[in-house]
């Protein structure tokens, strides 16, 4: 028998969702690789040979393609080092139908074959592609079932008042043996001081000043992945989260309902409820709420006093909206943290127009003759021009009260900060998720057609696809 003229360089890809057991001498990744190598050896007469590089992803989910081993494999395919990708099962490469279809399209473009050693199919035929689509649909179905079970389990644990992990709230420490929150001696006193100060001062801004003067802040926190969050003072937003959090009366919130928690309360329910009543009464009395809006100069306007960005917001009072910019530092830490505070948008827009006119970026005579909508469009064009054409510019704008701001260029590589391809993929996933029932009915029809063409019973179909009979029955029951 003559040797093949063109060898087929095969890359073995392995994946395991969790890192559990990877420290063993012979783990799941080794077992997958051994099975793939045995299959490649059986095809040696066809010119199949294994590349020396290992493409392993231990502890990575198959729900996306953000995996180092897979990315190295794709780079080697682009470089022409790999002609065939071999996996133990289809779901080892991906559990997402959208991601897998994109990978398969990439393989076809690079003329790379794809083989699953435990599921025999040929992607060159229409029946093989149907089989592959069914297998991958089942992989996605399995992943979504696991996600639903996990959410249900976490919801049940939450309703029982258990601490599920994450950052430990200020005032508590974690008992690692029982996995229960217990009051921290020093921080618990600080929490009581905060609640008492709210009732005494009846003003959150004053309380924030007292808290900062007393040196109360968030301690340094170390995450399991090694990331260290440094100690920092309490911001206004975090202060609101503290005095609104029912964890301090021994309860937990899940889906807008309160359940008894396993942790011991730090403040009494009477004090906590009195604070909530005070906050609710002040909100009703003022009759307005600040909201973030999409401002024209968002991301381009900076406070010169502290360097924070100026955030466009509006307040609604007596049925009227008042638009202005607020220093982000003031918004987080209180008005005492920066002398800039807020400026009305009308006042600032006039200052910007005047300054842009002085710099030759705007013709004031022509601009004044435009309608309001066209003026807005003109300002947007100028903002884009500064952003992309004058990247090194820093235009300082002065107001009548002596406050100055920086009009800084800031390049955004993608609209909205998200690449177009990722936005399209997200929309496709959302569409698939929203139409899940129709999708699985179509999958059931595919399985029924597969059984008819191959003259298979339900049990034989499950065996041919390498699936359990229960899973096939679960899908067919949707018809």
3-state secondary structure string across 73-133: HHHHHHCCCCCEEEECCHHHHCCCHHHHHHHHHHHHHCCCEEEECCCCCCCCCHHHHHHHH
Q: Phi first, then psi: give them for residue 474, nearest 5 degrees.
A: -65, -40
**Residue 461 contacts residue 472 (beta carbons within 8 Å):** yes
Tokens of 178: 């029982």
pLDDT per residue rounded down to tens, the chain (479 residues): 445 557 889 999 999 988 777 778 788 899 999 999 998 998 888 888 999 999 999 888 887 888 999 999 999 999 999 989 999 887 888 877 667 777 887 888 888 888 888 876 656 556 666 666 676 666 667 667 777 788 888 888 888 888 887 788 999 998 888 889 999 999 999 999 999 999 999 888 889 889 988 888 888 888 776 778 888 888 888 898 999 999 999 999 888 888 999 999 999 999 999 999 988 887 655 544 555 565 556 666 777 777 777 788 877 777 777 787 788 877 777 677 777 777 777 777 777 777 778 777 788 888 888 776 677 677 767 766 654 433 344 455 555 445 555 544 343 333 333 444 444 555 555 544 445 566 667 677 777 777 877 788 888 887 777 677 877 787 777 66
Question: Among residues 146, 127, 41, 25, which one has the least CA distance to residue 86?
Answer: 41
What's the fold here for domain 8-118? Rossmann fold (3.40.50)
Place of tokens 């099975």: 35
Query: Which residues does residue 258 pair with via DSSP β-bridges, in sequence order?
Result: 253
- C-alpha 263/C-alpha 231 separation (Å) is 24
**Residue 208 contacts residue 239 (beta carbons within 8 Å):** yes
- C-alpha 354/C-alpha 361 separation (Å) is 10
Q: Which residues of the chain form CATH 3.40.50.1390?
A: 8-118
Query: Which residues does residue 87 pair with via DSSP β-bridges, in sequence order?
Result: 116
CATH 3.90.1750.20 fits 172-286, yes or no: yes
Contacts of 357 (CB under 8 A, 6+ apart): 363, 364, 367
**Residue 74 contacts residue 106 (beta carbons within 8 Å):** yes
- For every residue of 252-293, DSSP letters joined together read EEETTEEEE-SSPPSS-HHHHHHHHHHHHHHHHHH----EE-
Question: Among residues 439, 444, 417, which one has the least CA distance to residue 428?
Answer: 439
End-to-end Cα distance, the chain = 52
- C-alpha 293/C-alpha 75 separation (Å) is 41
The continuous run of DSSP H or E covering 355 comes out as: helix 345-358
477 SS3 class:
coil
Tokens of 17: 């969702």
CB burial of residue 152 (10 Å; 0-12, 13-18, 19+): exposed
Tokens of 361: 């970026």
Nearest 10 degrees: Cα torsion 389, 394, 400, 401:
140
H-helix segments, 370-478:
372-389, 420-434, 436-454, 458-465, 469-476
Q: Which residues of the chain form CATH 3.90.1750.20?
A: 172-286
Contacts of 189 (CB under 8 A, 6+ apart): none
Which pTM value belongs to this model?
0.50
- Beta strands at 84-87 and 113-116: parallel, antiparallel or unpaired: parallel
């Amino acid at each position: 028998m003559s040797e093949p003229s063109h060898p087929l360089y095969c890359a073995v890809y392995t994946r395991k969702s969790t890192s559990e057991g990877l420290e063993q001498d012979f783990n799941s990744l080794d077992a997958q690789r051994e099975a793939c190598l045995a299959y490649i050896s059986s095809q040696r007469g066809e010119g199949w040979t294994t590349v020396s590089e290992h493409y392993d992803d231990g502890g990575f989910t198959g729900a996306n393609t953000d995996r180092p081993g897979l990315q190295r494999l794709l780079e080697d395919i682009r470089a022409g080092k790999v002609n065939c990708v071999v996996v133990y099962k289809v779901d080892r490469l991906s559990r997402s139908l959208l991601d897998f279809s994109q990978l398969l399209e990439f393989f076809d473009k690079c003329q790379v074959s794809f083989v699953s050693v435990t599921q025999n199919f040929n992607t060159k035929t229409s029946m093989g592609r149907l089989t592959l689509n069914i297998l991958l649909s089942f992989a996605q179905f399995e992943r979504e079932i696991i996600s639903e079970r996990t959410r249900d389990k976490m919801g049940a644990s939450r309703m029982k008042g258990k601490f599920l992990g994450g950052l430990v709230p200020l005032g508590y420490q974690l008992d690692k043996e029982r996995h229960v929150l217990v009051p921290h001696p020093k921080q618990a006193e600080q929490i009581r001081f905060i609640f008492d100060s709210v009732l005494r001062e009846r003003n959150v801004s004053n309380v924030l000043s007292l808290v900062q003067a007393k040196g109360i802040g968030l301690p340094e926190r170390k995450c399991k992945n090694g990331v260290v969050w440094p100690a920092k003072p309490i911001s206004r937003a975090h202060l609101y989260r503290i005095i609104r959090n029912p964890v301090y009366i021994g309860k937990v919130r899940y889906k807008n309902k309160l359940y008894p928690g396993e942790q011991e309360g730090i403040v009494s329910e009477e004090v906590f409820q009195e604070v909530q009543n005070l906050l609710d009464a002040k909100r009703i009395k003022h009759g307005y709420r600040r909201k973030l809006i999409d401002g024209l100069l968002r991301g381009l306007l900076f406070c010169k006093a502290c360097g924070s960005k100026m955030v466009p917001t509006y307040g609604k009072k007596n049925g009227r909206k008042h638009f202005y910019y607020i220093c982000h530092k003031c918004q987080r830490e209180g008005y005492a943290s920066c002398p800039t505070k807020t400026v009305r948008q009308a006042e600032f827009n006039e200052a910007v127009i005047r300054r842009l006119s002085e710099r030759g970026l705007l013709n004031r005579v022509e601009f004044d003759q435009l309608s309001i909508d066209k003026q807005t469009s003109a300002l947007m064009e100028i903002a884009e021009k500064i952003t992309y054409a004058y990247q090194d510019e820093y235009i300082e704008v002065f107001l009548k009260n002596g406050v100055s701001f920086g009009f800084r260029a800031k390049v955004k590589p993608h609209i909205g900060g998200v690449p177009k391809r990722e936005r399209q993929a997200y929309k496709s996933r959302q569409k698939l998720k929203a139409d899940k029932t129709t999708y699985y009915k179509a999958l059931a029809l595919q399985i029924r057609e597969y059984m008819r063409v191959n003259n298979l019973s339900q049990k034989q179909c499950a065996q041919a696809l390498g699936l359990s009979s229960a899973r096939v029955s679960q899908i067919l029951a949707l018809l």
